[in-house]
Structure 1
Amino acid sequence: MSGTAPGGLPAATVADLYRAACLAELDALKPGNVHGYAPGHRMVVADFVTSADVSAPPLAAAGARVGQRVRGGVEATFAAVGQNTNLGILLLCAPLAYAAEQPGPLAEALNAVLAGFDASDSRDVFAAIRRANPGGLGRAERHDVSQIDDEALPPLRAAMAEAAPRDRIARAYGDGFRDLFAIGLPALVGARARGLVPPWTTTAVHLAYLMAVPDSHIARKHGPERAEAVRAQAQASLAGLDLAAAPVEPLLAYDRALKEAGLNPGTSADFTVATLFLDALLSARGEGA
C-alpha cells in the first residue's frame, strides 16, 4: 500500500477494469457455469462479452448512485442480448464502482456506500430485479419485489436483509461484502503465490467459492439441500486438484456432470467477477489486495 491515502478513480478506468474482470471470468474453466471451454445452460459466451461491454458505461457512470448503475446496466444488457446475463454481477460491482470513485481506503468507502442508500436506490434496484426476473431474490413473505408498487418500496438494505438467508449477494449488502474479502481475495492471492497465472488464478477463485459455501443460484432453483450437496461434492472431488497442471479434462468432466443435472453455480461465478474487479480496483488505487 502506498504511503498516501488512495484517491478516487476516473469513470473510464473503472469501466475498463470492470470489462476486464468480466472477460477474465469468461476465459476461466468454471465447472457448471458459462465459460470459453464449453457452452451450457442455453447460454453462449458471446452474450456475456456483449453484456460486459454495454453494461460498463452505466456501471461506471461518474457520480451515479448504486441503483442507477444497476438499473442502467440491466437495461443496456437487455437491449443488447435480450436476457439476464449479469444482474448478480451488477449488484455486486455497482457498490464497488461507486466506492472506487471516493477518496480514502476502498473498504471504508464501500461501507459508507452500503450505509447510504436512499429511496432512489430502492426504486432502481427493484426495477432492475423485476426486469431481470431472476426467480428468487425478491420472493419472501415480506419485500417480494414482484408484488410491491413503487410507493410501498422498503429501504434497499432492509429488503436485502430479508433476502440474506437465502441469497449471498443480498447478504453482502449487510455484511460489507465479507465473502469477497474472506474467500475471494485470499484465494486469488494464494493462487498467485503458488505461481498460477490467468486463467487458472480465476478458476482458483471460482472453486474457492464453490467449495466454501452453498451456491445461492442452485439453492433458489433446486433447494438448499441440493446446494449443500454440490458444495460438499466439489470439496471432495476438487480440493486436491493441482491447477498448476492445467487439469482441463477432470474439470470439464465435472462441468458436464453439473450441466447435465441442470446445476449452475451462478452466484459463485458472480462473486468471482466481483473478486477480480475488487482486486483490480485496489491495485489501481495503490492499496493492493
Structure 2
Amino acid sequence: MKIAVLSSDPHRAQEYLSPLSALPDLDPVTAGPDGWDEVLAQRPDAVVVTGELTGHRDLTTRLAEAGAPVLAEHPSPVATATAAVAKIDAAESAATATAAATAVAAAEAMVAAGIRLTFASPGRCGPIFAAVRRAITENKHVGELTTIHGAYHDSGRPGPALAGNAPVLLDMVESVLGGDPAVSVYAQVNTILSGDPEVDSAALLTVRHASGVVVSLDASWSPTIAATGPVMTFIGDRAGIEYTGRPRLLDGFDATTAGARWEPGGTDARQLMLAEFAAAVRDGEQPAGPDGAAGLRTLRIVEAAYASARTGQVVDL
C-alpha cells in the first residue's frame, strides 16, 4: 500500500515518514510542493498532509482529484500574541481575524471538495484512551459528566501554544462528548516564556458546551520542561477518571542538563495514529480520528479563543 506524505517542511515530513516506514507492507513516499503533482499521479492509496499549508489552496483541488483518503494536520489560526494580549488597533485586529478565518476557510474547502478527510489527532489514539472513552460514554462509570480538565505542554515545537497544543486537547474532548457543540469560549495567553512578542507560550481556555459540560484546558508550552501529555481528568456526578497519555517512568535530576529527568512511558502517539489510519485505509473503513466536520468544530473553538484573548471577553459560538 502506497501512502504519500506531502509537506513544505522536510523536517515535518520526516516525523511522519519514519513511523510509516516502520509499518509492514507500506510504501511511503514524500515530496515538497514542487513534487506534489508527480507523487499524486502515482495514485497513492492515502495521503498525509503535514505542516502549515493554508497558503497552498490549490492543493485542495489536487487532493480531490486524487480521490484518496487524507490525514491532515489542523490548519493553524495563528494570531500574534501582540494581538491577543495588547488589545491592538483595528487594523492589526482585522489582520489577526483574517489569519484565523483563512485557516477555517482552508479546512472548509477540503470538506466542501468531498475529500475523505481525517484530522491528525494523536491524543485520542490508542487502546487506553479508547477504554477511558467507553467507560464514560457507554458504561457511565462517572455518571453524568460535568467537568473536564486537561493539559498538554509540548516543548518540542516552537510556535503559538494555543494554536499548536489546544487542538490536541480539544479533539480528545470532541471524542468523548460526541459532537456536543461548544457554545462559549474564554481564553488568556501571554508570551513570557517564549520571549517572542508574536508567539504565545502560555494559553488557558475555558469552553462551555451545550450539554452544560465545562472544559478547562492548559495548552501552554515551555522550553524547560519535557512534553507531558496529554493529561485529562473527567469528572461526573458519581466519580472521576484520570488519563495520562505518556506517564513518567523515571523521576530524577539530570546533571548534564541541570534539570528534571523525564522518561515517558507508553507507545508514541503519532505512531499509534498512523498505524490506525493505515489499517483503516487498508480495510476500506473510515479512520477513527476526527473527520472534517469535527476538525472544523475544533478549529472554530481555537479561532474563538484567540478572539477572546484579544478582547478579554467571553466569545459566543
TM range (shorter): 0.3 to 0.5
Higher helix share: 1
Higher strand share: 2
TM, length-normalised to structure 2: 0.31
Q: Which has the higher contact order (CA 8 A, sep 6+)?
A: 1
